[in-house]
Structure 1
Amino acid sequence: MGATHAPARDPGLQPERTALAWRRTVMSAIIASVLIWRGWIQALAGTQTAAESASLIGQGSPAHIVGLGICAVVASVTTIILVMCSVVRIRLLHAGVGVLESSAHITVPTLMVRTASAAIVALALATMCAMALGI
């Protein structure tokens, strides 16, 4: 009995689809981060009208501004983490397309999956907190 070889891997468009999905995720994270930062900067500058301030409890208070600042920092850190994860994943896929013989060589590292998942959850929580604070 001879050793059997796995058939050559045909990645098709999988690397391109994955790269596009990562880019959409990063774009969404950047947009959320920018909106949170914009809300924090506006809160710092006090650009809200008196009617808006009266309608939202605690608007413009130091706690409100600190809360938005924390949300902005969390959003920035998670966005940077997602950008790094996407760059690593896209490079892995594009570097291995021509030389890989099986899909086992391009499996996603567990640490990267956990890191990206935690970053997305943290960004979602920061966004919800910022929305609750009235951005």
Structure 2
Amino acid sequence: MSAAAVRDPGLQPERTELSWGRTLLALFAADLLIWRSWAVAASQPVPAADPAPGFARWAGAATTDYLGICALAAMVATVVLCLCVLARVRQLRHSSQAPLASLIRWAAAGVIVLGTSAVAAIALGR
């Protein structure tokens, strides 16, 4: 009999699955806030009585473009993290093995990209 068949994990896989789900929900919330900041910045018109209309329009457009890049990066990172969560939950349901190293690397990269996007969106916000 193998060690995996003898081992009784109890509720550990279920608790791990629930914690991954809560983490994913928090990541979706961060992603939505980044998208909201981009939408708000894109919807604000440039004032007509602007002392330096050329520079202000360029700076406003650049900020909106950078917030759009942050929103896109956050969306890609959230999709990567969602796929990591789904893979880990599937793995937990079928075995009690440790997560694959590649899964951890992808999840870490997703968290770093999402965190960087959030910080950049905050810095670019008005």
Per the shorter chain, which TM-score range? Answer: 0.7 to 0.9
In 1, Cα distance between the equivalents of 2:7 and 2:61? 58
Count of aligned pairs: 116
Question: Alignment RMSD, CA only?
Answer: 2.4
Secondary structure of the corresponding residue to residue 38 of structure 1: helix
Are 1:16 and 2:14 an aligned pair?
A: yes
Matched, 1:108 2:106: no
The amino acid of 2:77's aligned partner reads T
User: Deviations 1:11-43 (Å, cap 9, x if unpaired)?
Assistant: 111101111111111111111111111111111
| 2:61 match | 62
Work out the CA distance in 2 between the residues paired with 1:110 and 1:131: 32
Distance in 2 (alpha carbons) for counterparts of 1:5 and 1:86: 27
Among all aligned residue pairs of Structure 1 and Structure 2, give the percentage whose two residues are the same amino acid. 39
Query: Are 1:42 and 1:48, in contact at CA under 8 Å, matched by a contact in 2?
Result: no
Shift of 1:5: 6.3
- Counterpart in 1 of 2:50? none
Kindly indicate which of the two structures has a greater share of residues assigned to helix.
Answer: 2
Moved over 3 A (4+): 4-7
**Does residue 134 of the first structure (1) align with residue 116 of the second (2)?**
no
What TM-score results when the alignment is normalised by the length of structure 2? 0.82
3-state secondary structure, aligned to 1:61: helix
Deviations 1:87-116, CA, capped at 9 Å, x for gaps: 1110111123xxxxxx4xx22111000000
- 1:48 Cα deviation after fit: 9.8
Runs of 5+ unmatched residues, structure 1 = 50-57, 97-102
Amino acid at match of 1:18: T
